[in-house]
Amino acid sequence: MRRRLLALICVTGSLVSACGMIPGGQERKTVTVWLMKDSASEEFLQRFTEDFEHTHKDLRLDIRIQEWTGIVEKVRGALDDDSGDGPDVIEVGNTQVPLYADGGRLVDLTLESMRDWGKEKWLPGLAQPGKDGNQQYGIPWYAANRVVIYRKDLFEQAGITRPPKTRDEWLADTEKLDSGGNQGIYLAGQDWYTLSGFIWDEGGDLARENDHEWQGTLDAPAALRGMDFYRRLQALGDGPVGADEEHPPQAGVFAGGKVAQLVAVPGLAHSIVRQNPDLKDRLGFFPVPGRTAARPGTVFTGGSDLVVPQNTEDQFAATAVVGALTGAKWDTELARTMNYVPNKTTLAGAVAGEEGVAAMAAGAAHGRATPHTPQWADVEADNPIKEYMTRVLTGADPAAEARRASRKITEALTPDVG
């Protein structure tokens, strides 16, 4: 926190900044908040700042917008900086929390989470990555996850009157749609986030910890069942088996007009319509189907948590900001403004009027995140899961390839102590 005199002009790189003293001449304390670009609109941040400073007369906010590119090293540098000029609250990707919690560089917010913030209602895909053992460091802010974006007109032409509820129904419907020159679904061969959901639904994992050691588990029977479902679904379209969903960008493929479905975040629909305005009123959304109709499929949950650096000079003020941003009032407002999923299952009704977001919220209630270890970033750096998927989709033995990929995951998750 930095104290500033009213007479000084505030010159910062912030989006929202103001100088002032509370009545009686006492100087306000400044809380510096790092938020990521495009996580919240400027108008939302203006309204939040005005409300927060009105209800916290001794505090002012200095919100600074950060770029995702290079953010890991920037945050690490801030966490190691003892000058007192660093941020007091930081938005981080939910799966990044273990990178920053390592070494005791974040404030333990377990007490506030249990006492004040209703952690028992948080989305599991946001809450779990924010933990280290029984301690909560990352506080869920908002979520986004994959749903199925589909062409309502092509479903109607195929005689499909409602979106599928189960995986078996999904396969049957997709087979009907994969005809007449149309792809039943566009699913790239290396879309490992989508595969992860199928593996989790079967009771498997990408990796598991045993006696404090992580091991890749793609070769477990449950994980192999998830891959087999992926193989059958992917075959009902022309997605490239040797590329992920960004090569080529799947929004452009869908906009071409010959694809009935794809798996993506609902926001991708805006890009599709920009490229093909004729599809504006033809798109629908439904949750990724589960093994039974009782619940949607498990999905990878992306999004952001808020953390408080250990080197903050005013932990009380920092946690006040976290509590306000993640509380029901402003978290709901953020979700409505930005088409996100709120951080609690109990707030899903706030976005029920938006079809795409409602489909996301249904899936997010059963969301998961990548294995909870700082070394997972090393797995993604040279991702053996992608190579495994391509090999299986081109006819290689699934069990043998899964063993090979699992060994590589295990090696990446084993810290180098030499």
The DSSP secondary structure of 176-212, one letter per residue, reads: HHS-TT-BS-B--TT-HHHHHHHHHHTT--SEEEETT
Residue 191 confidence class, pLDDT cut points 50, 70, 90: very high
What is the per-residue pLDDT across 75-124, written as a single tens digit (0 to 9) for each?
999 999 988 889 999 999 998 898 898 889 999 999 999 999 999 999 98
Residue 19 confidence class, pLDDT cut points 50, 70, 90: very low
Closest-CA residue to 108 (of 97, 123, 122) = 97
What is the per-residue pLDDT across 309-354, written as a single tens digit (0 to 9) for each?
999 999 999 999 999 999 999 999 999 888 899 999 999 888 888 8
Whether 343 contacts 145, CB under 8 Å: no
What is the per-residue pLDDT across 367-389, written as a single tens digit (0 to 9) for each?
999 998 888 988 988 999 999 99
Mean pLDDT of 63-77: 93
What is the pLDDT, as a whole number, of residue 344? 94
What is the pLDDT, as a whole number, of residue 267? 86
By CB neighbour count within 10 A (0-12 exposed, 13-18 middle, 19+ buried), where does 230 fall?
buried
What is the pLDDT, as a whole number, of residue 26? 61
- The β-bridge relationship of strands 29-36 and 261-264 is unpaired
Length of the chain measured in residues: 418
What is the per-residue pLDDT across 46-56, written as a single tens digit (0 to 9) for each?
999 999 999 99
Q: Give Rg (Cα) of the chain.
A: 23
Q: Which residues are registered as beta bridge partners of 290?
A: 166
